[in-house]
């Protein structure tokens, strides 16, 4: 199942002009506030009639302005999860879930692709079925809202910043369930966010939006490793994403050893099976550089690499992109440090990363 989007729309002096396609898995629409992300998903959902567009799911046109097609929202077979859940407060959790199935029943007569019990178990909400929304935490409400959307038998799931209203603890609660959705369901998910940790943990494909325009489309490692995109993604959040395998538990020290192309990396202990595949997000500000292998240092992670690119911005800092045996790693240091090390493309260096910097928010599992 694929989603194709090609649209242009003007409103209030702002022009949205976007073209992209996505396959099963999770596609993140990423960009700063005001980039046009919510407007784009509203057009996909049918809540906005664009000036010009062709939007299709698996070749079935939802909108084709040239052909005069505009399918109403209730016929689009799209599940929509909003920031605030929007549950019916006088219904139990079970009734809220069945409300989604009720709307699906009249849609096409097709057998349920996802059953009630499957959804309840997938989202871990069986113990909540008899409760009312007012008694649920923010994370629990969002899981129920996701379940309701899934039980509408969608061909596409839209999620508009579903974690934006949650605190850090509730976000950590719900992220594993979003990973399960991405991994186990065979339907496209379009996920709107301006939070780079969510995007790097969840997304298969990233569509980078800025001022209504698609600036780049690609995989998480490809886009996070590009220095030219920092003005759009935010310098503070800059960092690389590596794919690694859990190879050993260091029981005496409460650590886990991960292996990637760049080398071995120690992180705080992970309760996952040996052999598990993970993503590691290493922030540029957590990387320091040296010309020789450091001795007698507290940093446990030391990776050999070669400078591949440098980019100077405003202020005293410089961004350095490293090639570590095929993995891209980013470092943010001062221009003075770069001058003292005489950094230039092709120069061998050693990157040091503190183990404690690689917390749970930096680790996730890829598809």
Euclidean distance between CA atoms 98 and 92, whole angstroms: 10
Of the three residues 218, 253, 268, the one that is the final residue of a domain is 218
The structure tokens listed for 25 are: 């898995």
Structural domain includes residue 60: yes
Euclidean distance between CA atoms 295 and 53, whole angstroms: 60
Q: Considering its fold, how many domains does the chain have in total?
A: 2
30 and 144 share one domain? yes
315 and 273 share one domain? yes
Domain that holds residue 339: 239-364
pTM above 0.95, yes or no: no
The CATH number assigned to the domain holding 64 equals: 3.40.50.300
Local confidence pLDDT in tens for the 367 residues of the chain: 688 999 999 987 889 999 998 877 899 999 888 888 999 999 999 999 999 999 998 889 999 999 999 999 988 889 999 888 789 999 999 999 988 776 655 444 444 457 889 899 989 999 999 999 999 988 899 999 999 998 888 888 999 998 888 888 888 888 888 888 888 877 789 999 888 888 888 888 899 998 899 988 888 888 877 777 766 665 556 788 899 999 999 999 999 999 999 999 999 998 889 998 888 889 888 999 999 998 888 999 999 999 999 988 778 989 999 999 999 999 999 999 999 999 999 999 999 999 988 866 566 665 5
Structural domain includes residue 227: no
Of residues 233, 178, 234, 223, the one with CA closest to residue 202: 178
106 and 186 share one domain? yes
202 and 245 share one domain? no
Structural domain includes residue 229: no
Structural domain includes residue 121: yes
Of the three residues 218, 250, 276, the one that is the final residue of a domain is 218
Within 8 A by CB and 6+ apart from 129, the residues are 92, 93, 94, 97, 120
Structural domain includes residue 65: yes
């Amino acid at each position: 199942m694929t989603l194709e989007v090609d649209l242009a729309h003007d409103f209030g002096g702002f022009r949205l002009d976007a073209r992209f396609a996505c396959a099963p898995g999770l596609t993140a629409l990423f960009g700063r506030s005001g980039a046009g992300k919510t407007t784009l998903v509203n057009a996909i959902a049918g809540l906005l009639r664009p000036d010009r567009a062709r939007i299709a799911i698996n070749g079935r046109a939802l909108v084709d302005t040239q052909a005069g097609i505009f399918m109403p929202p209730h016929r689009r077979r799209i599940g929509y999860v909003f920031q605030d859940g929007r549950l019916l407060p006088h219904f139990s959790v079970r009734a809220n879930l069945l409300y989604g199935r009720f709307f699906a029943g009249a849609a096409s007569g097709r057998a349920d692709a996802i059953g009630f019990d499957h959804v309840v178990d997938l989202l871990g909400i069986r113990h909540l079925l008899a409760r009312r929304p007012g008694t649920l935490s923010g994370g629990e409400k969002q899981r129920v809202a996701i379940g309701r959307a899934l039980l509408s038998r969608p061909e596409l799931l839209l999620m508009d910043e579903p974690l934006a209203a949650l605190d850090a603890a509730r976000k950590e609660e719900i992220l594993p369930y979003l990973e399960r959705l991405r991994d186990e369901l065979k339907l496209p998910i379009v996920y709107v966010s301006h939070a780079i940790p969510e995007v790097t943990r969840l997304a298969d494909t990233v569509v980078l939006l800025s001022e209504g325009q698609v600036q780049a489309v690609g995989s998480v490692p490809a886009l996070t490793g590009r220095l030219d995109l920092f003005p759009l993604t935010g310098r503070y959040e800059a960092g690389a994403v590596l794919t690694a395998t859990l190879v050993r538990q260091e029981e005496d020290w409460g650590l886990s050893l991960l292996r990637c192309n760049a080398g071995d990396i120690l992180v705080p202990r992970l309760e996952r099976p040996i052999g598990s595949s993970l993503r590691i997000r290493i922030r540029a500000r957590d990387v320091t550089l040296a010309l020789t292998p450091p001795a007698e240092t507290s940093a446990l992670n030391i990776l050999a690499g070669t400078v591949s690119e440098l980019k100077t911005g405003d202020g005293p800092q410089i961004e350095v992109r490293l090639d570590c045996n095929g993995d891209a790693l980013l470092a943010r240091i001062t221009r003075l440090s770069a001058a003292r090390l005489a950094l230039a493309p092709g120069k061998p260096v050693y990157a040091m990363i503190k183990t404690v910097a690689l917390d749970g928010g930096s680790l996730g599992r890829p598809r």
